Amino acid sequence: MVTLNVNGRSVDLDIDPKMPLLWALRDFLGLTGTKYGCGRALCGACTVHIDGEAARSCSIMAGDAKGQITTIEAVSGKVADAVKAAWQRLNVVQCGYCQSGQIMAAITLLSSNNKPSDQDIDLSMEGNICRCGTYVRIRAAIHEAASKL
Amino acid sequence: MITVRLMRGAVMARLPSRRRAGAAIFASLAGATVVLLTAALSAHGQANTPSDAEKSKALAAWDDIVIVLRHPRCLNCHQENVPLEGDERRIHIPLVVRGPENGEYNSQGVSAMRCRNCHNVSGNNETSGTPGGGDTGGWRLAPRTMTWQGLSSAKLCEIIQDKSLNDNMDGPALIRHMGSALVMWGWEPGGDRTKVPMLHDDFINQMKIWVAGGMACPP
């Protein structure tokens, strides 16, 4: 039995503690906004927040996810609102598969650095891959979101 | 002793005769105490000075120790700014950098690219293949002053015992460090990673011999 705190509620799941958090979120809680990409912590599509920090849910074991887990479905607040608005205004998304992970990583970056340089953005977003190549728009959207904070 | 005698002579000359006897006894006792303390400290110093045989054993032990320290399981995270991966020591994919060397995220990356975002404290994740296992500090790079890449055996031996560089660790503290959870991961790295090529107990024994032999280094 594993107890998870997800999007503000506590849930008990009858699962192996070594199950990837991603499976628990998608298959047991129906939170499918978080995507499966590589399953090896290499692409960032599965990024969620644990206590406000970015975490690769395919790699973090459910039993290790002790903190408050937030997924794309429930992320909110001033930074999240600014990021989502910038994403929409600049039409960042192409196919969209990686974008929940991109947005969660961008929120983590701007929560600790509200005036990131291009290098700050590159280093922080390095682990989030976009096969459509929307990196230029992602960077622009992060700068735009930062300007609203 | 010379200082005590000079002081005793000068003080005695200024005292009345009745008090001179008491002062003489006190001064003699003080002098004797200094002699005994000096002898004790000297003996202690001699006891801590390793013999030539112990130094030779320490040098031989170091030759085994350095093989472990240079193994990819150790060396890959004793890097200046970016950890390496695999026995071929490739740059970590995705790219992560050290980040600040202080505070909560001491050498644990930056922003959305922190070590613990992927590496589990509780151990290796055999599903994703991500190694993990650590202590309270979790997965992280070694301090920048403990960058071992490219060092000769002699230089590595020199810096690892330099308390100004090694987080103020003396010999016993270095031995304890080698038994910490993060270091122990090298013996249970998971996946198809090669383990450190020496039993941990044997490694610790070699460390103890090296420390007992004065942490001798090759020329």
Count of residues making up chain B: 219
Judge contact between B166 and B174, C-beta under 8 A.
yes
Whether residue B218 lies inside any domain: the answer is no
Asked whether residue B90 falls in the same domain as residue B24, the answer is: no
Instruction: Determine, for residues B120 and A61 on separate chains, whether the beta-carbon distance falls below 8 Å.
Output: yes
For residue B55, the distance in angstroms to the closest alpha carbon of chain A comes to 46
Q: Which domain holds residue B166?
A: 52-212
Which of B32, B48, B64 represents a domain boundary (last residue)?
B48
Spell out which residues of chain B touch residue A54, defining contact as CB-CB under 8 Å: 111-114, 117
- Homologous superfamily (CATH) for A78-147: [2Fe-2S]-binding domain (1.10.150.120)
**Which DSSP state fits A24?**
I
Domain A2-70, classified CATH 3.10.20.30, yes or no: yes
- Judged by a CB distance cut-off of 8 A, whether residue B9 touches chain A is no
Asked whether residue B9 falls in the same domain as residue B42, the answer is: yes
- Judged by a CB distance cut-off of 8 A, whether residue B136 touches chain A is no
In chain A, whose CA is at the least distance from the CA of B129? A40
In chain A, whose CA is at the least distance from the CA of B128? A40
Whether residue B183 lies inside any domain: the answer is yes
- Structural domains of chain B, count: 2
What pLDDT digit, counting tens, does each position of A42-66 carry? 999 999 999 999 999 999 999 989 9
Angle at B92 between CA A122 and CA B89, to 5 degrees: 145
Asked whether residue B78 falls in the same domain as residue B152, the answer is: yes
Q: What is the pTM for the complete model shown?
A: 0.82
pLDDT-derived band at B136, boundaries 50, 70, 90: low
Instruction: Determine, for residues A59 and B120 on separate chains, whether the beta-carbon distance falls below 8 Å.
Output: yes
Q: Where in chain A is the domain with CATH 3.10.20.30?
A: 2-70
Whether residue B219 lies inside any domain: the answer is no
- Judged by a CB distance cut-off of 8 A, whether residue A115 touches chain B is no
What pLDDT digit, counting tens, does each position of B59-101 carry? 999 999 999 999 999 999 999 999 999 999 999 999 999 998 8
Distance CA A101, CA A82 (A): 16
Beta-bridge mates of residue B206 = none
Whether residue B166 lies inside any domain: the answer is yes
